[in-house]
Chains A and B, each alone.
Chain A
Amino acid sequence: MTVSLLAAPQSSSQRVDLWRGGVVLTALLLALPVIVIFSFIFVPAGEVWLHLQQTVLGEYVSNSLWLMLGVGIGVLAIGIPAAWMVSLCEFPGRQFFSWALLLPLAMPAYIIAYTYTGMLDFAGPVQSLLRSSFGWEYGDYWFPELRSLPGAISMLSLVLYPYVYLLSRAAFLEQSICVLEVSRTLGTGPWRGFFRVALPLARPAIITGLSLALMETLADYGTAQYFGLTTFTTGIFRTWFGLGDPAAAAQLSAVLLGFVFVLIMLERWSRRRARFHHTSTRYSHLPRYDLRGWRRTGAIVGCSIPLLFGFLLPALQLAYWAWETTGEWLRADFFVLLANSLWVAAITAVLAVALALFMAYGRRLRPARSVRFAVRLAGLGYAIPGTVIAIGVILPFAWLDNSFDTFMRRQFDISTGLILSGTLAALIFAYCVRFLAVSLNTVEAGLGKIKPSMDDAARSLGLSPLRVLREVHMPIMRGSLLTALLLVFVDTLKELPATLILRPFNFNTLAVRAFELASDEQLASSASAALAIVLAGIVPVILLSRTIGRSRPGMKTAVNKCRPAKLAE
């Protein structure tokens, strides 16, 4: 095995094609739903679309915009002060709050929405207590209606503020001590320091967090549907199922995508700007403002409110309902539901991480422009609402099925029926499109920490690129791979709208069951499934807070690059 190993040189173009072609093709496949939706812009408008345009489109747009405006103000008002307090002030419980304030991330918006509905409606504990304390009767008093636009805004703000909190907290901590100390030596107090120094420096990070929260707002289906609000997502559902017009549903999705792309541009732009805002790379212990007296109380109360209303109260209510209805749900079919959810999520997680590994490694091997663009394209799914992805999956799949069926009938007189549509394959494909970015970010961050000389060393020792991946990269980045698996797993578990549209007949998951029971006003019965989802959602929150704790100085990799676990819509 000496000279004989020197095989004839391979044509370099031939080798490029395997990786480059593979990555580009995979990316195109994953981008298929978005491409399909976009292509409907060019399909001539049908009758239904014209009808929609004349009647409800304006309402969809205005409701969605109001929702975005309200949630935007809400998440900034909760997220920024909370981040400022836990990162730059000192008060009892600060360390606890710094991770506990992330907990609402575990609470899907549709679950918090119907939990509060149950708590605040006429027969609920709050109104009953008011009536019995004051001796009021029905009609004696005014009570705010939760099922309204302001109600939806408060529900979404309560669970989406952690995006702003997380990114602005990272930005505050990243601001090198020099800048803040200099401003303090120049006589700047906490308030002026916040408005004049910290806030302007953190602005790009805050905008990034805001755009993520707004993407979630646009993607929300469960809350809007449950509160009877007509937004884009509910409109798409109605057009699809109610009016049965796929083209109009796709066109509606395309308009929604337009909104989403504005947010993507905003996010990209602010992330780029964030890089220029790094003033220094020196980090050391941050001297925090030591709060005393009323300020200290204020900080504790201020941090408690989002935690209490965004997580503790609804979680306790769910636990109470689940406890109350033990006999009802602790039966075999609950475990079938659980098993369904778990194994679909597991398959999705493995697939999404394998795809992410393939694409990230392909980009490392061939950093050509086409490959970089393809990987970016494949990672767009995180911004696309599940409803839109579902429509974008079902249309080409149905077309494929029909064409194949026609072909087989004409040639062989066999009807193949539906092969892809309405199967788990379609559902899992949609999950992969939606959550690839989650695994891709984590895998890329892990891969980025491995020096390129590692690849070269292993290659010069006789390993092919594929074996380098298996024997060097994968063992080194085992932690990142596990994290990516877990994040996709939990996201899939919580996903609602795409599952509602694409699930096979008679196939139910925890999220679907919780939502269906809640929609039927069986709030208590839905609590067990909801609670299971919330409990699963806590796992990535713990992971996230641990990453933050470990990587305090170099937050960039932990938070900016690794998008936090996504909320279900």
Chain B
Amino acid sequence: MNKLLEVLGIDVGYGDELFVFAASLHLAKGEIGCLLGPSGCGKTTLLRAIAGFEPVRRGCIRLAGKEVSSVVGTVPPERRQVGMVFQDFALFPHLSVADNIAFGIHHWPASKRRARVNELLQLVGLPNYGANYPHALSGGQQQRVALARAMAPKPRLLLLDEPFSSLDVELREVLAREVRRILSHEEITGLLVTHDQNEAFATADRIAVMQAGHILQCDTPYNLYHQPSNRQVADFIGQGVLLPARVSGSSELDTPLGRLTGELPEGLVTGSLVDVLVRPDDLLIDPACSLQAEVIDKVFRGAMFLYTLRLPDGHKLLCQAHSHADREIGSQIGLRPDFDHLVVFPRDA
């Protein structure tokens, strides 16, 4: 049994209102997880319940197999050995950087404590900043100190609440990758909260997509993109369009793009109406193809163009193409569907 964190069907709320409903997820030791969702979806509430700041109304939370939260009671945060990095970093303004990092290990022997602080300052790339005070640091530096402080007591689980949201966009990606490196170096299991997919993809092994208090899907980034288990996830993760289609055989669909073949989920009756997910990378531009579409918009992305196309029957599609050729808006291009696999959602009757 290697599950460090198990969240089993918990409800969390403030006052009379619930913000998290029947949420379940688990993380193996050393894994980095992520709660991804728009703001107000309950991801921070879920994180605070795992940290022990909020009691659960239903279900339970286990850390290393021991129950720490249930309706019976809550182990207070100071006794969970769970570290947390806050959105605003929450560095103690009256303490130096070194004292901030040493805050959670004040009971260690002085020499060991000093060694740990120096080790962490090295690890986060601030070796000479121990004597500085937080207000003298830049946002990115404060972020690193907050990370070092949370990791100092060697927590079993490190929670990060939107840790990069107050930083510049350029800095975010660098730090997201660095956090990954640092966590794996320290062999710490991590759980990150963010609303930014790129951040989630860059950092996490497993991502739980949340919406309106529910976890919609919990999976690897690859699977979330290629195998979304429902419409909301398909819509939220990556770009793409849902096209109406009709099941025309055990592994055939009739779509505005023509007949597509591929494995279909079980239980689909021939003749029933469905939607098929079309990602920008599922379409290739091929002048030899008879299927024509009109370019109605384009975004230059450096190596790629992202075109918005309109089919003769009016359906709009997104298509990604190399930027070697620049197609004019209004021009007609030939399209060739290139599906690796089909993602299909039945229509609600």
A453–B87 CB distance below 8 A: yes
B51–A456 CB distance below 8 A: yes
Residues of A with C-beta under 8 A to B63: 6
In Å, the complex CA distance between A458 and B77 comes to 9
Pick the contact of A10: B76, B82, B92, B152 (CB < 8 A). Answer: B76
**Interface-located stretch among A88-96, A116-124, A371-379, A461-469:** A461-469
Residues of B with C-beta under 8 A to A451: 88, 90
**Interface-located stretch among B67-75, B124-132, B202-210, B334-342:** B67-75
Given contacts A11-B73, A12-B73, A461-B149, contact A6 B86 (CB under 8 A): no
Given contacts A5-B81, A9-B67, contact A453 B86 (CB under 8 A): yes
B79–A460 CB distance below 8 A: no
In Å, the complex CA distance between A451 and B81 comes to 22
A5–B79 CB distance below 8 A: yes
Number of contact residues on B: which range applies? 35 or more
Chain A: which residue is nearest B60 at the CB level? A9
In Å, the complex CA distance between A10 and B84 comes to 21
B153–A462 CB distance below 8 A: yes
Residues of A with C-beta under 8 A to B82: 460
Pick the contact of B77: A7, A8, A453, A460 (CB < 8 A). Answer: A460
A459–B78 CB distance below 8 A: yes
- What are 21 A-to-B residue pairs whose CB atoms are below 8 Å? A2-B81, A3-B64, A5-B81, A9-B70, A9-B74, A9-B75, A10-B75, A12-B73, A453-B90, A454-B92, A456-B48, A456-B51, A457-B84, A457-B90, A457-B92, A460-B77, A460-B82, A461-B83, A462-B104, A464-B76, A476-B93
In Å, the complex CA distance between A235 and B63 comes to 68
Complex interface residues of chain A between 59 and 77 (CB less than 8 A to chain B): none
Given A7-B79, A453-B87, 15 new contacts (CB under 8 A): A5-B81, A7-B75, A10-B73, A10-B74, A12-B55, A12-B74, A451-B88, A453-B90, A456-B77, A456-B84, A457-B92, A457-B150, A459-B53, A460-B77, A472-B92
| B289–chain A nearest beta-carbon distance, Å | 56
Residues of A with C-beta under 8 A to B48: 456
Residues of A with C-beta under 8 A to B88: 451, 453
Residues of A with C-beta under 8 A to B86: 453, 456-457
In Å, the complex CA distance between A5 and B156 comes to 12
| A464–chain B nearest beta-carbon distance, Å | 6
Q: Identify the interface centre among A2, A454, A457: most chain B CB within 10 Å of its CB.
A: A457
Q: Identify the interface centre among A451, A460, A476: most chain B CB within 10 Å of its CB.
A: A460
Residues of B with C-beta under 8 A to A11: 72-73
Residue B80 at the A interface, CB < 8 A?
Answer: yes
A458–B70 CB distance below 8 A: no
In Å, the complex CA distance between A8 and B68 comes to 8
One digit per residue, 1 when the CB lies within 8 angstroms of any chain B CB and 0 when it does not, for chain A 475-499 equals 1100000000000000000000000
| B337–chain A nearest beta-carbon distance, Å | 49
Pick the contact of A9: B73, B103, B149 (CB < 8 A). Answer: B73
In Å, the complex CA distance between A456 and B84 comes to 8
A6–B90 CB distance below 8 A: no
Residue B347 at the A interface, CB < 8 A?
Answer: no
Given contacts A6-B66, A9-B67, contact A463 B78 (CB under 8 A): yes
Seen from chain A, the residues whose Cβ lies within 8 Å of a Cβ on chain B are: 2-3, 5-12, 15, 451, 453-454, 456-464, 472, 475-476
Residues of B with C-beta under 8 A to A472: 92
In Å, the complex CA distance between A454 and B67 comes to 26
Residue B185 at the A interface, CB < 8 A?
Answer: no
Chain B: which residue is nearest A369 at the CB level? B15
Chain A: which residue is nearest B48 at the CB level? A456
A461–B104 CB distance below 8 A: yes
A476–B92 CB distance below 8 A: yes
A460–B75 CB distance below 8 A: no
Residue B324 at the A interface, CB < 8 A?
Answer: no
| A58–chain B nearest beta-carbon distance, Å | 50
A461–B153 CB distance below 8 A: yes
| B174–chain A nearest beta-carbon distance, Å | 24
Residues of B with C-beta under 8 A to A459: 52-53, 76-78
Chain A: which residue is nearest B149 at the CB level? A461
In Å, the complex CA distance between A10 and B74 comes to 6
- A-B pairs, 5 with minimum CB distance: A9-B73, A461-B104, A453-B90, A457-B90, A460-B84
In Å, the complex CA distance between A476 and B55 comes to 29
Residues of B with C-beta under 8 A to A476: 92-94
In Å, the complex CA distance between A12 and B152 comes to 29
Chain B: which residue is nearest A454 at the CB level? B90
In Å, the complex CA distance between A461 and B88 comes to 16
Pick the contact of A6: B53, B68, B73, B93 (CB < 8 A). Answer: B68
Chain A: which residue is nearest B102 at the CB level? A461
Residues of A with C-beta under 8 A to B90: 451, 453-454, 456-457
